[in-house]
Structure 1
Amino acid sequence: MQINLSNTEANIINNIALAAQELNLPVYLIGGFVRDKILGRPTKDADIVCLGDGIALAHAVAEKFNPTPYVAFFKNFGTAQIKIPLQNDSYFEVEFVGARKESYTQNSRKPQVTSGSLADDQLRRDFTINAMGISLNKADFGTLIDPFNGINDLKNKIIQTPLDPIQTFSDDPLRMMRAIRFATQLNFSIAPATFAAIQQDAHRISIVSQERITDELNKILLASKPSIGFDLLSKSGLLSIIFPQMMALHGAENIDGKGHKDNFYHTLQVIDNIAQTTNDLWLRWAAVLHDIGKPATKRFEPGQGFTFHGHEVVGAKMVPKIFAQLKLPMNEKMKFVKKMVELHLRPISLTKENISDSAIRRLLFDAGDDIDALMLLCNADITSKNKQKVKRYMQNFELVKERMKAVEEKDHIRNWQPPLSGEDIMRIFGISPGRQVGIIKDAIKEAILDGIIPNTYEAAYQFMLQKAASLNLQPV
Structure 2
Amino acid sequence: MMIDCSKEELKILQIIGNCAQKMQLPCYLVGGFVRDKLLQRACKDIDVVCVGDGIELANEVAKQFKPTPQVAFFKTFGTANIKVGGFEIEFVGARKESYAAHSRKPEVEPGTLEDDQRRRDFTINALAISLNKDDFGALIDPFNGVEDLKLQLIRTPLEPGTTFSDDPLRMMRAIRFASQLNFSIVPETWLGIIENAHRLHIISKERIADELNKIVLSPKPSVGFDLLYKSGLLKLFFPQMIDLAGAEYIDGKGHKDNFYHTLQVLDNIAEHTNDLWLRWAAILHDIAKPATKRFEKGHGWTFHGHEVVGGRMVPKIFAQLKLPANEKMKFVKKLVELHLRPISLTKENITDSAIRRLLFDAGEDFDALMLLCNADITSKNQQKVQRYLQNFELVRQRCKEVEEKDHIRNWQPPITGELIMQIFNVPPSRIVGDLKTAIKDAILDGAIENSYEAAYAFMLQKAKEVNLVPVS
- Corresponding residue number in structure 2 for 1:455: 450
- Corresponding residue number in structure 1 for 2:74: 74
- The alpha-carbon distance between structure 1 residues 472 and 217, as it changes in their structure 2 partners (threshold 3 A), is same
* Deviation of 1:22 (Å): 1.2
- The alpha-carbon distance between structure 1 residues 127 and 464, as it changes in their structure 2 partners (threshold 3 A), is same
d(CA) in 1 for partners of 2:186, 2:19:
39
Amino acid at match of 1:326: L
- Corresponding residue number in structure 1 for 2:7: 7
Deviation readout 1:127-170 (Å, 9 max, x if unpaired)? 00000000111111111100000000000000000000011111
In structure 2, list runs of 5 or more residues that go unmatched.
none
1:109–1:171 Cα contact (<8 Å) kept: no
2:98–2:167 Cα contact (<8 Å) kept: no
- Corresponding residue number in structure 1 for 2:18: 18
Deviation readout 1:329-386 (Å, 9 max, x if unpaired)? 1122111111111111111111111111111111111112221211111111111111
Amino acid at match of 2:413: P
1:51–1:117 Cα contact (<8 Å) kept: yes
- Corresponding residue number in structure 2 for 1:281: 276
1:361–1:407 Cα contact (<8 Å) kept: yes
- Corresponding residue number in structure 2 for 1:28: 28
SS of residue paired to 1:81? strand
Which moves more between the two structures, 302-311 or 33-42?
Answer: 302-311
* Deviation of 1:429 (Å): 4.7
- Corresponding residue number in structure 2 for 1:364: 359
d(CA) in 2 for partners of 1:105, 1:435:
58
In structure 1, list runs of 5 or more residues that go unmatched.
none
1:411–1:454 Cα contact (<8 Å) kept: no
1:83–1:93 Cα contact (<8 Å) kept: yes
* Deviation of 1:112 (Å): 2.2
* Deviation of 1:109 (Å): 4.2
Deviation readout 1:59-84 (Å, 9 max, x if unpaired)? 11111111111111222222111111
Which moves more between the two structures, 200-209 or 330-339?
Answer: 330-339
- Corresponding residue number in structure 2 for 1:330: 325
1:343–1:374 Cα contact (<8 Å) kept: yes
Deviation readout 1:307-350 (Å, 9 max, x if unpaired)? 11111111111111111111111122111111111111111111
Deviation readout 1:189-215 (Å, 9 max, x if unpaired)? 000110011011111111111111111
* Deviation of 1:2 (Å): 2.9
d(CA) in 2 for partners of 1:443, 1:139:
81
Aligned pair partner of 1:420 in 385, 393, 415: 415
**Aligned counterparts, 1:40-439, within 5 A:** 40-84=40-84, 86=85, 91-429=86-424, 433-439=428-434
d(CA) in 1 for partners of 2:59, 2:111:
21
* Deviation of 1:462 (Å): 2.6
| Aligned CA-pair RMSD | 1.5
1:412–1:455 Cα contact (<8 Å) kept: no
1:62–1:68 Cα contact (<8 Å) kept: yes
Per the normalisation by structure 1, the TM-score is: 0.96
Among the aligned pairs, what percent are the same residue?
72
- The alpha-carbon distance between structure 1 residues 116 and 437, as it changes in their structure 2 partners (threshold 3 A), is closer
2:2–2:139 Cα contact (<8 Å) kept: no
* Deviation of 1:7 (Å): 2.2
Deviation readout 1:3-42 (Å, 9 max, x if unpaired)? 2212221111111011111112111000000000000111
Which moves more between the two structures, 437-446 or 120-129?
Answer: 437-446
SS of residue paired to 1:47? strand
Per the normalisation by structure 2, the TM-score is: 0.97
Deviation readout 1:260-286 (Å, 9 max, x if unpaired)? 111000000111111111111111111
d(CA) in 2 for partners of 1:225, 1:369:
27
* Deviation of 1:435 (Å): 4.5
Amino acid at match of 1:368: G
Deviation readout 1:81-110 (Å, 9 max, x if unpaired)? 1111x3xxxx31111111112233222243
* Deviation of 1:434 (Å): 4.1
- Corresponding residue number in structure 2 for 1:471: 466
- The alpha-carbon distance between structure 1 residues 434 and 57, as it changes in their structure 2 partners (threshold 3 A), is closer
Amino acid at match of 1:445: K
d(CA) in 1 for partners of 2:167, 2:426:
66
d(CA) in 2 for partners of 1:76, 1:403:
62
SS of residue paired to 1:342? helix
Deviation readout 1:215-247 (Å, 9 max, x if unpaired)? 100110011111110000001010111111001
d(CA) in 1 for partners of 2:205, 2:460:
56
d(CA) in 2 for partners of 1:25, 1:470:
86
d(CA) in 1 for partners of 2:247, 2:430:
49
d(CA) in 1 for partners of 2:431, 2:248:
52
Amino acid at match of 1:74: F
SS of residue paired to 1:96? strand
d(CA) in 2 for partners of 1:243, 1:468:
49
Aligned length: 471
2:36–2:43 Cα contact (<8 Å) kept: yes
d(CA) in 2 for partners of 1:304, 1:433:
46
